[in-house]
Amino acid sequence: MSKPTLDQLEELVAQALSRIEACANGDELTACEAEVHGKRSAFTQLQRSLGELEPEARREAGSTLQSARRRVLDAYARREGVLAEGERQAQYEADRLDLGDVVAAHVRLPLRAGHPGIIATTQATLEDVFVGMGFTIADGPQIETDWYNFEALNIPPAHPARGMWDTFYVELGEPETVLLRTHTSPTQIHLMEEAVANDTLPIHAVMPGRCFRRDTPDARHLAAFHQIEGLVVDEGITFADLAGVIEKFTKEYFGPEITSRLRPAYFPFTEPSAEFEITCTLCRGAGCRTCSQTGWIELGGCGMVDPAVFAAVGIDTSRYSGFAFGFGIDRCAQMRHGIADMRAIADNDVRFLEQFS
Ligand code: FA5
């Protein structure tokens, strides 16, 4: 191959430019650069041949060669940029996550929407029944002081009735002053205190909520369960009003064939007191394991508000009388849906829970 001459410079540049343009990726471009500018390239040979020229001619030829090389180097840099951008785009495409595909994949799965649990729906139905009977709904704290859970309810310290409620205490340094409420009855006290403070008596309210006892779970008990408390404080309220409300509620909630009965009982905060029971809905009164063969299930306690409780909250007993009741929401759910063992409600077995969606 004959040595290149300066006359061929434009042709060499044109060839180099078209070879650079033809490079399809970075590797080809690197190889091309070595060829165009490498030791044996035409440009390098021309560069070397400059030494043979006179100084004046050498300067002129050097400058021409320099600008030709510059054009080739610029073309090389431009092509490098174009190829890098192309490679970046290709990488983007390869990495692209099509969220539409992800959503579509999920939509193909059966949608598993949640639904309120059996206790929430039972509570809502109970509230509806009582609202229909003219009651309002109130709420109270789950963590209580000894005063609300016991003392104001006529259960002073060391009173033997405290044994009726095996209590979880909250460790706050001082022993046994703050506790998880064992029943919803303390909400009665909050309501009466508020009504006295705001002069808003009478009261006709129900108070649903969660309660806690150190009870061993069995077919009719849980350690965390729910009660709904009822309180009526008004003028001229008698035990007959209480019995009427209990029976009306029983028929409304469980149906006309289920009956209630009241049996004498003892609660420190009501006098007289009663336990109220309903026909066992599992055996319809015939006797079964769930009702211990009695045909009846205890739903809750009730009675006329004890004057000592009215005294604790400052209600004038010469004007007002009242009744209260409190019964288990879990027990209601159990009886309404014929659940033999209450522990199933707390077990979180989806196959059980889905029956009540
Ligand atoms: C009380 O808790 C009284 N506060 C009820 C009351 C209110 C009486 C107002 C008078 C006036 P007792 O401990 O019997 O009473 O509980 C009432 C009901 O709560 C029970 O009949 C039962 O239905 C429900 N219950 C009690 N303990 C549990 C438990 N561990 N698991 C599930 N339900 C329970």
Instruction: Please indicate, yes or no, whether residues 129 and 201 belong to a single structural domain of this protein.
Output: yes
In a domain, 102, yes or no: no
Q: Is residue 148 part of a domain?
A: yes
- Here the CATH number for the domain that contains residue 138 is 3.30.930.10
Instruction: Tell me, yes or no, whether 87 and 153 share the same domain.
Output: no
Cα-to-centroid distance, 321 and ligand 1 (Å): 22
Minimum-distance ligand 1 atom for the alpha carbon of 222: 31
Domain that holds residue 185: 118-355
- pLDDT confidence of residue 289: 85
Same domain, 70 and 133: no
Contact predicate 266/339, CB 8 Å? no
Same domain for 338 and 233? yes
* Residue 111 located in a structural domain: no
Q: What is the pLDDT of residues 248-275, one digit of tens each?
A: 999 999 999 999 999 999 999 999 999 9
Q: Would the CB of 186 count as within 6 Å of ligand 1?
A: no
- Domain membership of residue 303 (yes or no) is yes
Place of tokens 């390239």: 41
| Closest C-alpha to 267, from 216, 201, 327 | 327
Report the half-sphere exposure of 354 (CA within 13 A, side-chain side). 5
CA atoms of 344 and 321, how far apart (whole Å):
40
Same domain, 196 and 319: yes
Q: Is 306 in the pocket of ligand 1 (CB under 6 A)?
A: no
From the CB of 300, is ligand 1 less than 6 Å away?
A: yes
User: What's the rounded Cα separation, in Å, for the pair 353 and 342?
Assistant: 12
pLDDT tens-digit profile of 186-212? 999 999 999 999 999 999 999 999 999
Which tokens is 121 given? 């729906």
SS3 category, 305: strand
Taking the centre of ligand 1 as the mean of its atom positions, its distance from the CA of residue 350, in whole angstroms, is: 27
Whole-number pLDDT of residue 95? 86
Task: Determine contact, residues 228/329, Cβ cutoff 8 Å.
Answer: yes
Assess whether 36 and 160 both reside in one domain. Answer: no
Same domain? 37 vs 179: no
Q: Which two tokens stand for residue 239?
A: 């035990």
Could you tell me if residue 106 is inside a domain? no
Cα 246 vs. chain centroid, distance in angstroms? Answer: 35
- Looking at the CA of residue 325, tell me the nearest atom of ligand 1: 9
Type of residue at 17: L
Asked if residue 43 is part of any domain, the answer here is: yes
Task: Judge if 43 and 170 occupy the same domain.
Answer: no
Instruction: Give residue 201 CA to ligand 1 midpoint distance, Å.
Output: 26
d(C-alpha 120, C-alpha 3), whole Å: 96
Ligand 1 in reach of 215 Cβ (< 6 A): yes
Taking only Cα atoms into account, the Rg of the chain, rounded to an integer number of angstroms, comes to 45
Token pair 């490679």 is at which residue? 87
Q: Would you state the structure tokens that stand for residue 147, as one six-digit string? A: 């005063």
Say yes or no: 68 and 132 in one domain: no
- In the predicted model, residues of the chain with pLDDT beneath 70 are 1-2, 102-111
Ligand 1 pocket: which of 153, 162, 164, 183 to mutate (most atoms <8 Å of CB)?
Answer: 183
My answer on whether 303 and 213 are in the same domain is: yes
**Residue 172, both tokens:** 């706050």
DSSP string for residues in 111-175: P------HHHHHHHHHHHHHHHTT-EE----SEEEHHHHTGGGT--TT-GGGGGS-PPBP-BSBT
Is 79 near ligand 1, meaning CB less than 6 Å away? no
Q: How far is CA 314 from the centre of its chain?
A: 41
Boundary residue ending a domain (96, 128, 160):
96
Amino acid at 10: E
193 & 122 share domain: yes
Count: domains in the chain: 2
Q: Cβ-count burial of 64 within 10 angstroms (0-12 exposed, 13-18 middle, 19+ buried)?
A: middle
Question: Is 213's C-beta closer than 6 angstroms to any atom of ligand 1?
Answer: yes
In a domain, 109, yes or no: no
Q: pTM for the full model?
A: 0.71
Distances (CA, A) of 233 to 67, 117, 202, 328: 105, 33, 5, 22
In this structure, the residue with its CA closest to atom 20 of ligand 1 is 300
Say yes or no: 290 and 206 in one domain.
Answer: yes
Residue 221 Cβ < 6 Å to ligand 1: yes
pLDDT at residue 55, as a whole number = 85
What local confidence, expressed as pLDDT, does residue 105 receive?
66
**300 C-alpha vs ligand 1 centroid, how far in Å?**
5
Flag whether 326 is in a domain.
yes
Q: Report the C-alpha gap between 185 and 215 in whole angstroms.
A: 18
Q: Which of 30, 64, 96 is where one domain is finished?
A: 96
